[in-house]
């Protein structure tokens, strides 16, 4: 199931990026990648670290994701999330011991949640219909 997240996200385009106390990366479909803790965006010419708990506004390479397609995604062995985009940009969300740092949502609910301690939980409900096991 580690690679099932690629089947959910790959090929979707970023429609919007919003900040505040968390990052919401809205993809077509609609699917939302929600990040509730620190994360990093690696672009070919720069790396930016973000701390949503401190409230932030999207800048630089994060705003540059709008219109890009997801080239690949994976849940790391430790329970983090990595999403690669066209153009060589990568969003990396590390696991956290206390906070649930990330989730992938559809209008029907959560597809996958990265929980505190690195645990990852997949939904068995309607949000995952049409997704094959990976």
Contact 58, 73 (CB under 8 A): no
pLDDT in tens, 50-74: 887 777 778 888 899 999 999 999 9
Total Cβ atoms within 10 A of residue 62: 22
Q: Is the pLDDT score of 76 beyond 90? A: yes
Position 55 scores a pLDDT of 72
Return the half-sphere exposure (C-beta side, CA atoms, 13 A cut-off) of residue 56: 21
């Amino acid at each position: 199931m580690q690679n099932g997240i690629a089947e959910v996200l790959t090929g979707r385009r970023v429609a919007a990026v919003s900040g505040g106390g968390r990052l919401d990366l809205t993809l077509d479909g609609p699917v939302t990648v929600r990040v509730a803790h620190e994360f990093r965006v690696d672009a070919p010419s720069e790396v930016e670290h973000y701390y949503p708990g401190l409230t932030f506004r999207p800048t630089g390479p994060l705003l540059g994701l709008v219109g890009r397609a997801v080239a690949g995604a994976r849940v790391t062995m430790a329970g983090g999330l990595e999403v690669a985009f066209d153009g060589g940009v990568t969003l990396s969300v590390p696991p956290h011991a206390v906070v649930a740092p990330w989730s992938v949502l559809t209008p029907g609910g959560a597809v996958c949640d990265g929980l505190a301690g690195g645990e990852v939980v997949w939904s068995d409900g309607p949000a995952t219909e049409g997704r094959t096991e990976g």
